[in-house]
Amino acid sequence: MTNLDPDLIQTIVVLGATSAIAKAFIRQCCNAQTKFVLVGRDEEALDAIKSDLIIRKARSIETIVADLADCFRAKETVQAVMARCSRVDLLFISYGILGDNAEALKDNVLTQEIITSNFTSVACLLSEFTPIFEKQKTGSIAVITSVAGDRGRQSNYIYGSAKGGLALFLQGLRHYLSKYGVHVLTIKPGFVDTPMTSAFKKGLLWASPEKIARGIRHALLKKKSSVYLPGFWKWIMIIIKLVPESIFHKTKL
């Protein structure tokens, strides 16, 4: 089965459906053949997405309210998803928090929160979904990490390390699930104009959630393993990774 094929009935499960990137992606995937199971912690925001998808004539829309960072509830959340669909054609994970690196250095609870939200809980949810995909022997898993995970930087290395850890986890999961015919996509966006980055000054390197969503759909259709979005971030990160530590330490990145 080709995911996102407009001629096939398909189920898309989104963990973190209220994120700006997820909302753009969901809208772009919506057609009369698509069934959605949308998970987020904000019931009102989920209801608003559902109303929009009804107008856009989605085949069906189920919503689940859950705190996705609660690792102890990962099994329960995945059971709730599977109670609403018989098969998952695409699992899209898009939740996360940026956190404040400087504040986290004063309070390790914040460090824990950043690592748990961006890495540990995602790993727990993926581990719950893995046997389901093994059994299905088909489908795709697409997870948003970040360019921040490619090199540790003084300004956000807690978030960056969680995203970098997640990228490594996904690399291993892709290897593991390849023998079952399951596709795993690692998504590495650069700067995206969303509520997460509302406090940042925007410039030339910034992209819209809609542009990122188009890139994710394209990477899924092409069955890519990993994608930088927009694509020019691949070249920026090659250069950033090549800078020797002695020079890197002189920067304020």
Ligand X SMILES: NC(=O)c1ccc[n+]([C@@H]2O[C@H](COP(=O)([O-])OP(=O)(O)OC[C@H]3O[C@@H](n4cnc5c(N)ncnc54)[C@H](OP(=O)(O)O)[C@@H]3O)[C@@H](O)[C@H]2O)c1
Q: Looking at 50-58, 64-72, 100-108, 232-240, which segment touches ligand X (CB under 6 A)?
A: 64-72
The total number of residues written for the chain in this structure = 253
Our CA dihedral for 232, 213, 169, 63, rounded to 10 degrees, sits at 170
- Residue 68 is a binding residue for ligand X (CB under 6 A): yes
Question: Are the C-beta atoms of 162 and 113 separated by less than 8 Å?
Answer: no
Of the two residues 57 and 241, which places its CB atom closer to ligand X in the complex? 241
- Which two tokens mark 246? 């002695």
CA 45 to each of CA 20, 91, 166: distance values in angstroms, whole numbers, following the listed order: 11, 20, 26
**CA–CA gap between residue 231 and residue 187 (Å, rounded):** 11
Planar angle of CA 92, 62, 177, nearest 5 degrees: 30
Q: Binding string, 79-108, against ligand X, x = CB under 6 A?
A: ---------------xxxx-----------
HSE toward the beta carbon, residue 104, CA cutoff 13 A: 17
- Residue 192 is a binding residue for ligand X (CB under 6 A): yes
- Residue 197 is a binding residue for ligand X (CB under 6 A): yes
Of the two residues 95 and 129, which places its CB atom closer to ligand X in the complex? 95
The residue from 117, 120, 161, 186 that contacts ligand X (CB under 6 A) is 117
Question: Nearest distance from residue 18's CB to ligand X, in Å?
Answer: 4
Cβ neighbours of residue 172 under 8 Å, at least 6 residues apart? Answer: none
Question: Nearest distance from residue 193's CB to ligand X, in Å?
Answer: 7
How crowded is residue 240: how many other Cβ atoms within 10 Å of its Cβ? 16
Q: Give, as ranges, the residues between 221 and 240 that touch ligand X (CB under 6 A).
A: none
Give the count of residues interacting with ligand X (CB under 6 A): 25
The residue from 144, 173, 177, 237 that contacts ligand X (CB under 6 A) is 144
Question: Nearest distance from residue 240's CB to ligand X, in Å?
Answer: 15
Binding residues vs ligand X (CB under 6 A): 16, 18-21, 40-42, 67-69, 94-97, 117, 144, 146, 189, 191-192, 194-197
